[in-house]
A and B are shown apart, each in its own frame.
Chain A
């Protein structure tokens, strides 16, 4: 398969990743175990869910905790997945907010933690390091998801748990 087809045929995994992130965040009180230690992942401000296939239907939810809304859960039940999310990432004393697009895994709209250095040059270096750290963190979370997704044994119960969550939470919201 040529590279263009490989890219296009796997884009949906970005949306599955963001939706899985929501599921895991809600189940694990936002905490993910990473190589460097625990990381908190929360969904903030704005969440977009889109239908797949040829149906271009989407729901944009703007709320302090958009994943807590009944609208968000109802969207999941109709088969929509998270296509755009604003995430708050907390690692130790550091906190970032980033916007992530599912189809491309582009990280933008980054708010970095306050800089600790004083000199101009050091501050620029620190700024770039913090942006790269945000990108690496999202990449590491995607890595966790894809390792699971590609492991048939591990994915079978995971997807069942996700489906129970989609149906169980929606029922509670109603």
Chain B
């Protein structure tokens, strides 16, 4: 599912703050700086996250017409992970430990020797494994100050908020009734008044003039 076609299931954010006058160059630079890179197995990483173009998850050459479309900035957040199937790893480790034990002539390998075999084997298996690739489209209407991320997953959204801020220097804030009131232009006076409201107790018997607090 994505921004360009298919199901429209997304999380919406408000983005406040000034967009730089030179955003056409500075935002392209920022995207390139935070572009997706392959998982670095040498550093023993299991995952990697970064921006890719919305049309092609393997393209990190951000050009203006790949990214900007009228007042919309469109990119995708790519998140690769390597997860080895636990059951298969266990079998490989068991075999490797058995082979090493036989070769050593010992009756049993020490715990640290077994751990070393396991770590070495996992590194080898990760080099052969195909990473799981996920992309989440992002559409930012810079005129409206609204960003859509095509994901409702909590963890993905938490990562997105940090990554967006790191890339563009602006903070996406989640929707909520108070923020919606601010967006709708309610006055300062009403934004203060709303804080003094109490829950309406809609299930209270009609004609009851004293509002009841909903019990905990």
Q: Which residues of A contact B (CB under 8 A)?
A: 1, 6-7, 9-14, 16-17, 19, 52-55, 76-81, 103-112, 121, 124-125, 128, 131-132, 135, 139, 142-143, 146, 149-150, 155, 159-160, 162-164, 166-167
Which residues does chain B contribute within 8 Å of A11, judged by CB atoms? Answer: 176-177
User: Is the pair B177, A77 in contact by a Cβ cutoff of 8 Å?
Assistant: no
Chosen A-B contacts, 26 in total, with CB atoms closer than 8 Å, are A7-B178, A10-B176, A10-B177, A10-B195, A12-B199, A16-B199, A16-B200, A52-B199, A79-B201, A103-B176, A106-B11, A108-B11, A108-B12, A121-B69, A128-B139, A135-B146, A142-B184, A146-B181, A146-B194, A150-B197, A159-B200, A160-B206, A160-B207, A163-B206, A166-B203, A167-B206
**B141 at the A/B interface (Cβ < 8 Å)?**
yes
Q: What's the Cα separation between A109 and B8 when bound, in Å? A: 6
User: Is the pair B193, A150 in contact by a Cβ cutoff of 8 Å?
Assistant: yes
Q: Contact residue range for chain B?
A: 35 or more
User: Is the pair B195, A128 in contact by a Cβ cutoff of 8 Å?
Assistant: no
Asked if A162 meets B202 with Cβ closer than 8 Å, knowing A7-B176, A105-B177, A150-B193, the reply is yes
Q: What's the Cα separation between A168 and B4 when bound, in Å? A: 47
Which residues does chain B contribute within 8 Å of A104, judged by CB atoms? Answer: 174-176
Which residues does chain A contribute within 8 Å of B207, judged by CB atoms? Answer: 160, 163
A-B contact number at CB 8 A: 123
User: Is the pair B195, A1 in contact by a Cβ cutoff of 8 Å?
Assistant: yes
Which residues does chain A contribute within 8 Å of B4, judged by CB atoms? Answer: 124
Interface of A is mostly: helix
Q: Which residues of B contact A (CB under 8 A)?
A: 4, 7-12, 69-70, 72, 139, 141, 144, 146, 148, 152, 174-181, 183-184, 186, 190-191, 193-195, 197, 199-208, 214-216
Q: What's the Cα separation between A167 and B8 when bound, in Å? A: 37
Asked if A150 meets B195 with Cβ closer than 8 Å, knowing A104-B176, A124-B69, A139-B183, the reply is no
Which residues does chain B contribute within 8 Å of A12, judged by CB atoms? Answer: 199
Q: What's the Cα separation between A108 and B11 when bound, in Å? A: 7
